[in-house]
Every structure is written in C-alpha cells, then in structure tokens.
Structure 1
Amino acid sequence: MTLNEYNQKRNFVSTAEPEGKINKSVAEMIFVVQKHAASHLHYDFRLESEGVLKSWAIPKGPSMNPAHKRLAIQVEDHPYAYRNFEGIIPEGNYGAGNVIVWDNGTFILVDDENYGNLNANLQKGHLRFIIKGKKLKGEFLLVKWKAKKENSWLLIKANDEYATEEDVLLQDKSVISNTTIDSLKS
C-alpha cells in the first residue's frame, strides 16, 4: 500500500487532511491511534515505517486485555503528517466524519531479526512491538489472520505488567486537544 492510494481517495480542496508526502521522525518511531466516527465508529491504529504511517482500522478499538483479540483491517498508508490530524472530514469525502487523536507516543520493535525494518516484519505476518503511549503501554502483537481476507490482522495485547481488564476505551478524550469526538463542531 502506498501514499498514491491515500492521495487518490481524497479531495484536498474540500478536506483539511494533509496531502500524502513522505516524512519521518528524527528519533524514535511514532504510533498514533485516531478515534474516527465515519460511517461506523472505529479506531485507526498507525505505526511509522519508512516515512509513512502503516494503518489498520480496528472496529472495536484496541484493548489492554490479552484475552481480547481485536480485528485490525489493514488500510492504505497515511502520511507522517497525519499523526496530528484532528477535525471533521466533510460529507462527500472519503472517511467523512469526526477524528480525534485518541492516543500517541513511540514504539520499538521486539525480537527484530530485520533490524528495525517494520515492512519486512509485516511481510512475515507477525509483528511484536512495545508501545510507549499515554493510554496504551507495553507489548502488543499484530498477527496476520490467514483464515480471513488478505488485509485482515489481529491486534493482541501481550500479558505483561500493563495488561488489565479495565476498558481503556472509556478514556475517550483526545491526547492533543482534550476534546471528545462528539464535541467537535463543523
């Protein structure tokens, strides 16, 4: 998946979303989770890789409970600049609806035999990483779900010191603007 697909789906005259350009962090790789009230409420989970944000839509949202295996549908790459995007995508545009930055921070790959190459790890269909976020913390796995469609993955929380049965989604405010998705105004 490339930024070409991202750019083709958007009309930048009518949406405030950033245009798809490659850029990257200076230091640690970043992750972001955006709560997105489009046709269906979901959470967009993004990991930085080679100047873009690899992206998955998670219908039920991430969980800190290792017993919850969350469906994660891989979607088109998003530009690095999307990491701070909050606002309203107007009706008539791809993904129309409200978006907030629900969580963000950095991540590192675990047991990385590909020396930091997230794309190579994704090709294997298994990715282990440690998140240092404001809401999400600790080790997670993204595992290709071979029984489903090609773009189907599972996001799983590892059983570590941060694992909990508490519902992290109840923390519903943006980590950037401290607003809820429902309070965004057009």
Structure 2
Amino acid sequence: MTDKDKEKDALIFVIQKHHAKNLHYDLRLEMDGVLKSWAIPKEPPTVEGIKRLAIQVDDHDLDYADFEGTIPEGSYGAGKVEIWDRGTFEPESVKEKKIVFSLSGEKMKGKFVLVKTNFGKYENDWLFFKKKE
C-alpha cells in the first residue's frame, strides 16, 4: 500500500471556528460514516494540562468537513464558519464514555481524549484534553 493509498483511506478530523451566537470551536471526527461532533466553548487544547468542555451535538455529513462560509441569520448555527485545523484522525479506543485517539493536523498533533462526564445536568458534556505521550 502506498502513502497515497493510506492517505485516501485515512479517517479525517476538522475543527471549525464558529462565530455564532457565541464564538466556539466545532470538533468533528470521522466515525461510522459521519462526522461525530462536539462544540468546544474555548480554543481546543494543543498542549497537555488544559481541559476543555466539549458538548456533543448532532452528527454531520462527511462533506461538511470542507465547509467554510456564513450560515444565514435565522438558520440553525447562523454565523461565520472557518476551518481552524484539519487532518487525519486515528482512533485508539472508542467506548461509550471514553474515546482515545490521535490527531495529525497543523495545530492539533498527538494523542487526545474525550471523556463523558457524570456531573451536571447535561448529558452531552464531555471533557477534551491532550493525553500525556
């Protein structure tokens, strides 16, 4: 298998900077033929020691990974969307309440973890952080 073939078969990730009602970042990971998605209220963690809230939102179609533009007022998610980072996604362990994976992008490099929280009243809350290598 050539590097080109591996690249073609690689799973993707994208992080979109979303200037909606509140500025946030949308983490999208290719899983099960869709982009599993989390809204992150602050800039994603590029170094160890920083934990971010990640709120799981609806899955998106794979072609949404290339979207940049403005969602019109009155539409769900209205506001400007730009790609903040993108690259390949390699799952290491995918469980109901914990996902361990590697990202290879311009800004996001290394192992990361999403852990579903058990506190608070929101069932879609996760913690997102960079794992110690």
TM-score w.r.t. structure 1 length?
A: 0.65
- Report deviation, 1:159: 2.2
After superposition, give the CA deviation of every residue in 1:96-155 in whole Å (9 maximum; x if it has no partner): 000001100001122x3xxxxxxxx242x0111110111110000000111132100000
2:9 to 19, 27, 32: 27
| Poorly superposed stretches of 4+, deviation over 2 Å | none
Q: Distance in 2 between matches of 1:109 and 1:97?
A: 31
1:135 to 87, 92, 107: 107
Q: Distance in 2 between matches of 1:102 and 1:26?
A: 21
After superposition, give the CA deviation of every residue in 1:30-55 in whole Å (9 maximum; x if it has no partner): 00000000000000000001110000
Q: Which runs of 5+ in 2 are unaligned?
A: 1-6
Q: Distance in 2 between matches of 1:55 and 1:61?
A: 15
**Letter paired with 1:32:** V
Is 1:145 the counterpart of 2:117 in the alignment?
A: yes
Is 1:80 the counterpart of 2:66 in the alignment?
A: no
Other structure's SS at 1:99 match: strand
Aligned residues: 126
- Report deviation, 1:26: 4.8
Q: Distance in 2 between matches of 1:50 and 1:73?
A: 19
1:64 to 32, 43, 46: 46
1:159 aligned partner: 132
**Letter paired with 1:85:** F
Is 1:126 the counterpart of 2:108 in the alignment?
A: no
Other structure's SS at 1:35 match: strand
Q: Which runs of 5+ in 1 are unaligned?
A: 1-24, 113-120, 161-186
Q: As a proportion of its length, which structure holds more strand?
A: 2
Q: Distance in 2 between matches of 1:135 and 1:61?
A: 11
Structure having the higher Rg: 1
Q: Distance in 1 between matches of 2:21 and 2:65?
A: 21
Q: Distance in 2 between matches of 1:59 and 1:105?
A: 21
Q: Distance in 2 between matches of 1:141 and 1:62?
A: 12
1:99 to 75, 78, 81: 81
Identity %: 52
